[in-house]
Amino acid sequence: MAEMRFFGYHGGMSKRVFGMVLAAGLSSRMGSTKQLLPYGKKTVLQTIVDTLIGSCLDGILVVLGHKASEIHGSLQGRDVAVCLNEDYRQGMFSSILAGFRELEGRTEGVLIVLGDQPQIQEADVREVVTAYRTGDKGIVIPTSQGKRGHPALIDISSYLEEIRELSGAEGLKPLMRGHPEDTLEVPIKQDRILRDMDTPEDYCLELGRLDPE
């Protein structure tokens, strides 16, 4: 749907990292398409994408499914690539696989970004990506209050084949829990990495946390 190209960070021999935004879901619990919900002066998804564009990534891929054309149109003018997950009704794991197929051979690391976390900040992205680029671990996960959150990063040059062998019933949990020797947890003070928006109540809470302009 859009040409894949690199931009932003160019670190010589440093490992490349693409952000992969999972924005294909039905938003069934929300009752409306949460990617297109207003969040400040932008939509939820526009806010997420703009945060990623302002960070240290080599590129951004948005995985679309439900209402793909409308959501793609909302991103016009932004330097991102998109791909279509035709199996989006099967759940989030199908979108992960669709995105990885698109990114295979183009990047070493993939930062997995949920499409309903507009509160995530550039600093959160930079901490996770920098920990991967400067370290030797293939899985990097932000934590807050002792709990794991998002966005998490996976070295697909190391783990893509294992991911493809997963049943998908538990998403990526078997991988993320299965390699403690190759996993780095990055503490984040704020709890925003733990929150997402599944329901109208969640959405209202996030709107209430927005800084007044």
pLDDT by residue for the chain (213 residues), tens only, comes to 455 554 544 445 589 999 999 999 999 999 899 999 999 999 999 999 999 999 999 999 999 999 999 999 999 999 999 999 999 999 999 999 999 999 999 999 999 999 999 999 999 999 999 999 999 999 999 999 999 999 999 999 999 999 999 999 999 999 999 999 999 999 999 999 999 999 999 999 999 999 765
pTM summary value: 0.93
Within a domain: residue 9?
no
Within a domain: residue 1?
no
Strand partners, 84: 64
CA distance 140 to 54: 20
Within a domain: residue 12?
no
Report the CATH number that the domain containing residue 133 is assigned in CATH.
3.90.550.10
Domain count, the chain: 1
Within a domain: residue 112?
yes
* Structural domain for 123, as ranges: 17-208
